Amino acid sequence: MDQTSDSNVELKSTKEEPQIHVLPIDDSQDSVSAAESSGKYYESNAGDGTKATEHFITGPRLYFTLLSCVLAVFLTALDVTIVVTIFSTVGNKFNGFEKIDWLTSAYMLGVSVLCPTYGKLSIVLGRKWTLVGGIIAFEAGSLISAVAQSMNMLIGGRVIQGVGAGCVQALTQIIMTEAVPISIRSYSLSLMALTYSIATVLGPFIGGAFTSDVTWRWCFFINIPLGCVALVMLLITYRPPPPTGKVWEKLKTIDVICSILLIAGVVLILLGATFGGNEFAWKSAAVICCFLLGGICLVAFVIYNFFVSKNPLFASYIFTIPQIISVSTSGFFNYAFFLTDMTYLTVYFQVILGHSAFQSGVDLLPLIVSASISAVANGILIKKTRFVKPNHIFSGVMGVIGSALLTLIKRDTKTSTRIGYLIATGISTGFQLQSALMSCQINAPKEKTGSLIMVTTWVTFTRFLGGAVGVIFATVIFETSSRNAVSRIVRNAPEAVKQQFATEQILKVLNSPKLIKSFPQEIQNQIFDSLMDGLQNTFYFGVACACVALVTSIFGTNRRIPKDEDVVKSEEDLKHH
């Protein structure tokens, strides 16, 4: 360490200058310079006074740390889709079909909007205690949802779940990134991708089993014991180096105004999209105000974050690296089409085909198997070839193919054909997560302290925001087209059918095969055809998102992952050179 670095350490510990507790932005420069002079690869330091190499874990502690992260990720990913199977049951119980979409939207909003703030908190409080707080929040939200006595209480529980899940998703990706050198990181991230793919697809399967054979409340109760296991395991086995400095002083480096402007802007725009055509007309003052105020907040965020704030939520250097922007954009649209397809495939199986919630989970098994095999294969390929770009582009190609194939699904499509359609989407999912994340991480400026966490948080934020946007806009497309089509059917139907519709909400009918089958056969066929048209419109939306994801993946980095022997694994490696 040179003289400048020594003086930084002294400033941090002297009583005369208590306000200096966070190392400056060039904390990584000494380590990077030493690594470059020795021909070694060194990632940026964490930004909390610790070295990147101090976060590497080996042996049993690594396995148990990864296991605790995987279990936490499994639960939060499971809750993205597990609620799809309880829509009809909960809507009937609480007589709240007009709010049923909020069970997904509220969760996804909570997951996405706070990701950047969690990245900052992890530097201030440390990864371990930030993640502990996220798990506790998720558990609290799960308990509230499980004992909910009204639709509003259930939605509130889902919001709290989402806030905790966002922390879990962001921090587990940071921990699984920092715990191992980049040369073998494809394995840990493949484990993450495998877990997420399986959990997301298993959601309807498990939710269906609980709803059919026990009670829908167990879709939330199940999180409590498993979450506690993950929490205890994390507390015992994960022992990262503690951040330096005083917490209170470092909290001042989190710009609250940045967070508020970003959260307000995103939430208001997505609220406008959710309200439009459902609770309010698109031209109503409520919807227009949501879009207008949301846009103003986002413009204000951009101005404040990049030109005013001394501690921006997103560092400006991220937006000067085109490879990071293109790949994170690809991740945004990839997750948008994936969640859209997942959500409305479940609707197809349950409503159009009349399958039980459990059977709809079985119907999605081809997607689970193909995604799982692909995630493992991708990790091995990245490790062996050290390339990430070809894998990422391949994911984009399969995403377009899979989404396009889903538009061919009809009411009478054979089971064997449906299986083939699902495999392509599963392959795309398995090849996406680790390819996109590692592509961005290898372009993170090594000389900028905290850049690895900043870039990882940015990719996580854009991915989950894409999921929230995709599900909300797909819901608008499906419900608007289906409702309009059914309204036309009602206008031209016999008087007896009109009277029957007058006693039921259209949205309730659209979510209940049992109610649809209570109508005359001719009306049933017309309703199912209208629903099928609505589903195909959402799948077309998925195709559009998949095409954008493919195009933007082409502009990712051409750099290769460094060889294992070329990566600095400890500060001793630098001293020896």
pLDDT of residue 1: 39
Going 451 to 455 to 456 to 458, the CA torsion angle's sign is positive
Instruction: Please state, in angstroms and rounded to a whole number, the distance separating the CA atoms of residues 81 and 339.
Output: 8
pLDDT of residue 504: 58
Q: Which residue has the tokens 């089509």?
A: 485
pLDDT of residue 38: 58
pLDDT of residue 32: 56
Instruction: Please state, in angstroms and rounded to a whole number, the distance separating the CA atoms of residues 79 and 501.
Output: 33
Instruction: Please state, in angstroms and rounded to a whole number, the distance separating the CA atoms of residues 418 and 416.
Output: 5
**Angle at the Cα of 496 (from 495 to 499), degrees rounded to 5?**
85
Instruction: Please state, in angstroms and rounded to a whole number, the distance separating the CA atoms of residues 119 and 131.
Output: 11
Which residues neighbour 434 within 8 Å (Cβ) at sequence distance 6 or greater?
185, 186, 189, 190, 192, 193, 375, 378, 379, 382
pLDDT of residue 371: 87
Q: Is 98 exposed, middle or buried (0-12, 13-18, 19+ CB in 10 A)?
A: middle
Please give the chain's pLDDT, 577 residues, in tens. 343 333 333 333 333 333 333 333 445 555 555 555 556 777 777 777 788 888 889 889 999 999 999 999 999 988 888 887 787 788 778 877 777 778 888 888 888 888 888 988 888 888 999 999 999 999 999 999 999 999 889 999 999 999 999 999 999 999 999 899 988 898 888 888 888 878 887 887 788 788 877 888 999 999 999 999 999 999 999 988 888 878 787 888 888 999 999 999 998 998 888 887 777 788 889 899 999 999 999 999 999 999 999 889 898 999 999 999 999 999 999 999 998 998 888 888 888 888 877 787 788 889 888 988 998 999 999 999 999 999 999 999 999 999 999 999 998 899 899 999 999 999 998 898 889 999 999 998 888 888 888 899 999 999 989 988 998 889 888 888 888 887 788 777 777 777 766 655 666 666 667 777 777 788 888 888 888 999 999 999 999 999 999 999 999 999 999 888 877 776 665 555 5
Is residue 280 within 8 A of residue 287, CB to CB? The reply is: yes
Both tokens of residue 477? 């497309």
Instruction: Please state, in angstroms and rounded to a whole number, the distance separating the CA atoms of residues 461 and 111.
Output: 9
* Cβ-based neighbour number of residue 576 at 10 Å: 8
pLDDT of residue 361: 76
pLDDT of residue 398: 95
pLDDT of residue 223: 93
Structurally, at CATH architecture level, domain 45-252 sits in Up-down Bundle (1.20)
Is residue 302 within 8 A of residue 313, CB to CB? The reply is: no
Is residue 277 within 8 A of residue 223, CB to CB? The reply is: no
Q: Dihedral angle at the C-alpha atoms of 22, 25, 29, 32, nearest 10 degrees?
A: 90
Going from the C-alpha of 47 to that of each of 24, 437, 451, the distances in angstroms are 8, 20, 8
Instruction: Please state, in angstroms and rounded to a whole number, the distance separating the CA atoms of residues 42 and 456.
Output: 16
pLDDT of residue 63: 92
Annotation: CATH topology of 314-468+541-561? Growth Hormone; Chain: A; (1.20.1250)
